[in-house]
Structure 1
Amino acid sequence: MIEVQVNSGICGFRTVIRADSEDMQNASLEIETDCPNLKPLTAELKTADSFKECFAKIGESGVYKLAAKYCKHPACPVPCGIIKGIEAACGLALPKDAAIQIKPVS
């Protein structure tokens, strides 16, 4: 099982994604989030086909289509975190942290 923790930034909402796969293609998902907009997504997104999600173009994957239905902010890192969890759980990528760092430069 893979666990992905997403701290979304200034909104302060945390999301935890747990992804597991028995056949290295289909992932079962458990998603917990503080974000009120994404709570309905957690009820709808319980499984995913890693090949369809991880090899789709951005905006064409089922995860991004579902996120577009509920997510109010296009810079939200949660959909990416979900796909990162799926790919690691299914062996399509090694589990490795990803990061976005934002700092003012004077």
Structure 2
Amino acid sequence: MTRVIVKPGICGFNAIIDIDTIDREKLSFKIKSDCKTVTAFGESLSEISKWDIFKPKAESGLFIKLSEHPLHPSCPVPVGIVKAVEVEAGLAIARDVSICFEIIGNRKG
């Protein structure tokens, strides 16, 4: 099983994504979060094909379900899902991902 913990920042709604192998093609999918939208999305999808993440978004079961449960545009949970699927399917190596801010000079606004 592959577990990814997403710490999205300012909203404070962490997500735990568990992806486990069912067979050569299918993966089970579970998500836990205090975010109601992320939770509703997770409940709508229990299995995913390991190849689904490579399909055009209009044909991908994952992204179709995400469009039915619109998250904030900068929510990193979808990226966490894709990375977890890649690792569990043996298509990528598990490595942490980060977004780091540097504020240079004076910000207006």
Q: Same fold (TM over 0.5)?
A: yes
Structure 1 counterpart of 2:66? 67
- Equivalenced residue count is 105
CA distance in 2, matches of 1:24, 1:96: 23
1:15·1:31 contact (CA, 8 Å) conserved in 2?
yes
> Match of 2:102, as an amino acid?
K
1:38-66 deviations in Å (ceiling 9; x for gaps): 2111111111001122x224565322221
Secondary structure of 2:93 counterpart: coil
Aligned residue number for residue 21 of structure 1: 21
Match of 1:99 in 2: 98
Quote the RMSD (CA, aligned, Å).
1.7
Residue 79 of structure 1 aligns to which amino acid in structure 2?
Answer: P
Aligned to 1:48: 48
Give the secondary structure class of the aligned counterpart of 2:79. helix
Residue 94 of structure 1: CA displacement? 1.1
SS of the aligned residue for 1:100 comes to coil
One-letter code aligned to 1:89: E
TM-score (norm 1): 0.87
Paired amino acid for 2:5: Q
Q: Which amino acid aligns with 2:74?
A: A
Q: Where does structure 1 differ by over 4 angstroms across 4 or more consecutive aligned residues? A: none
Determine which structure has more spread, i.e. the larger CA radius of gyration.
2
Gaps of 5+ in 2: none
Identity %, equivalent residues:
33
Tell me if the contact between 1:58 and 1:64 (Cα under 8 Å) persists in the aligned partners: yes
Instruction: Read off the aligned partner of 2:8 and give its amino acid letter.
Output: S
Q: Gaps spanning 5+ residues in structure 1: where?
A: none
Partner of 1:83: 82
